[in-house]
Structure 1
């Protein structure tokens, strides 16, 4: 082997060694790593977190994402989903100071209340805690998460009233509190969100009372109040000049006259079944290309207007009304 070849192999050896050393470097922030190991222990060291080995870089662990060097490789996302996890949400979660996404989902053995330490996560944007057995209230301390734009606490056993303070979050664009055991009215404060009007899902609870009149001034994109005990006049949620796409008010106790209610051209889905709604279906509703429609089990009367999308829905969308007639129901006499 000549001198040039020897030199080449020497440089190649040291380059490979340097590259191997660089790739094996533990990028994970050391404080976050300590916190994560505490979280694993708090959850009884489940097999789901078997990759959380203290001898390896935590940025490579399952369920995690880290930021880049600009945030010193702190953990920015923790997603624990569909594993054999039991216990409560560890309080140490609040010590992951740079966390932007926190998800505990489809964990039927996850119990207890939402820990107050989550209020420490000042960078949190995405909070999804659903399909668990979490109990207790929707916490007031969530209103301290000023960066939050997505909140999903659906499919739990949360109880009590909805906090007024959620409307204070300036970046919130999505709220889903459906399928819990929430009681009381829809907060009056929900008529004055600080930022963009969020998609709002409150279905399958035990909410009662009137819809606050202030909600009539808002232009929701998607709204679902179905399967509660709400009553009164819900017509204020409609309007020809709004940009609403979907509205579900089914299975409540609403009572109002539908005759003069105008709907926006953007409306794709409307479900009003199982209420006490009276009057006629307005002709203006034929001008909207509806994709989903149900007014069954009300007290509507008169001829179903011809044209538009109204005849493409079958009789199940209309039946069990007081005296509604015309296609797809029997012809009017």
Structure 2
């Protein structure tokens, strides 16, 4: 059954999906009574600017069948809690475009089915926990942390992580990011622009699946890596790269803005 954003199982009429979106008149905190819906598989709260307060982890932790938790574009704030391991079915965790602050929860890697983390566009601080390289199946197709106030060096353990999309742009990360690359990975998109990364791009190995690479506005140096001509979207502007711009492949589709303001690129 479906009515007003509520979807129920036909067999027992228990609530399965709960959706509330695009309501500027809703003025409330996150409903604590949601813990009384033990069969709930999906929560979708989107574009609710007057939904405020923190994430109430106690009632949410009772939802052991929950697969998708989306709280996006709301007025909610506070820290992002460590979701307990009994939420073993959680697959998609989207907390993007809110006012969440504090550090990244270090125990997320214990959730065995978690594959999508969207924490972008918040006010998060601190560094990425080393535990984020140890998700159970080593596969985390989407890790989006852009547009926060995160800082520090990336943990070397991220070399173990096999992501399809990783987005760290518009933060204050520094140092090496080469561990995000690898020819044996399934990575399609890497977005690390507007940080303080400093490493030799010429030494990385690109995934054969790579389609998008944005490393602009950093302190990255070196030459272009092998296979760069095969990707579909590229921006290395505002770095310290040198050498000849490769030809062939897709390189002809990139304008001067993709290479502007580097130390000594030519060609």
Q: What TM-score range do you get, normalising by the shorter chain? A: over 0.9
Per-residue deviation, residues 235-283 of structure 1 (Å, max 9, x unmatched): 1111122221111011110000112222112100000000000111134
Greater CA drift, 177-186 or 309-318: 309-318
- Contact 1:302–1:323 (CA<8 Å) still a contact in 2? yes
> 2:48 aligned with 1:115, yes or no?
no
> 2:179 aligned with 1:236, yes or no?
yes
Per-residue deviation, residues 57-90 of structure 1 (Å, max 9, x unmatched): xx45311000121xx2201110001012111111
- Which residue in 1 is equivalent to 2:253? 312
Distance 1:144-1:157 versus aligned 2 partners, 3 A rule:
farther
Q: CA separation in 1, counterparts of 2:238 and 2:2?
A: 55
- Contact 2:187–2:209 (CA<8 Å) still a contact in 1? yes
- Larger relative contact order (Cα-Cα within 8 Å, sequence gap ≥ 6): 2
- Aligned partner (choices 281, 286, 296) of residue 237 of structure 2: 296
User: Paired residues, what number?
Assistant: 264
Per-residue deviation, residues 121-179 of structure 1 (Å, max 9, x unmatched): 11100100000010000112354421100000000000000011111100011000000
- Aligned partner (choices 158, 169, 173) of residue 100 of structure 2: 158
Distance 1:200-1:189 versus aligned 2 partners, 3 A rule:
same
> 2:17 aligned with 1:77, yes or no?
yes
Greater CA drift, 134-143 or 206-215: 134-143
- Aligned partner (choices 21, 26, 39) of residue 98 of structure 1: 39
Distance 1:293-1:142 versus aligned 2 partners, 3 A rule:
farther
> 2:89 aligned with 1:138, yes or no?
no
3-state DSSP of counterpart to 1:259: helix
Q: CA separation in 2, counterparts of 1:276 and 1:141?
A: 36
- Gap regions ≥5 residues in structure 1: 1-58, 327-333
Distance 1:101-1:307 versus aligned 2 partners, 3 A rule:
same
- Which residue in 1 is equivalent to 2:157? 214
Per-residue deviation, residues 9-66 of structure 1 (Å, max 9, x unmatched): xxxxxxxxxxxxxxxxxxxxxxxxxxxxxxxxxxxxxxxxxxxxxxxxxx45311000
Q: CA separation in 2, counterparts of 1:267 and 1:60?
A: 40
Per-residue deviation, residues 176-223 of structure 1 (Å, max 9, x unmatched): 000000001101000000135221000001111111101112221111
Which has a greater percent of strand?
Answer: 2
After superposition, residues 1-333 of structure 1 pair within 5 angstroms as 59-69=1-11, 72-83=12-23, 84-116=25-57, 117-195=59-137, 197-198=139-140, 199-286=142-229, 288=230, 290-326=231-267
Q: TM-score, normalised by structure 2?
A: 0.96
- Contact 2:138–2:161 (CA<8 Å) still a contact in 1? no
Distance 1:322-1:97 versus aligned 2 partners, 3 A rule:
same
Q: TM-score, normalised by structure 1?
A: 0.77
Which has a greater percent of helix?
Answer: 1
3-state DSSP of counterpart to 1:311: helix
3-state DSSP of counterpart to 1:158: strand
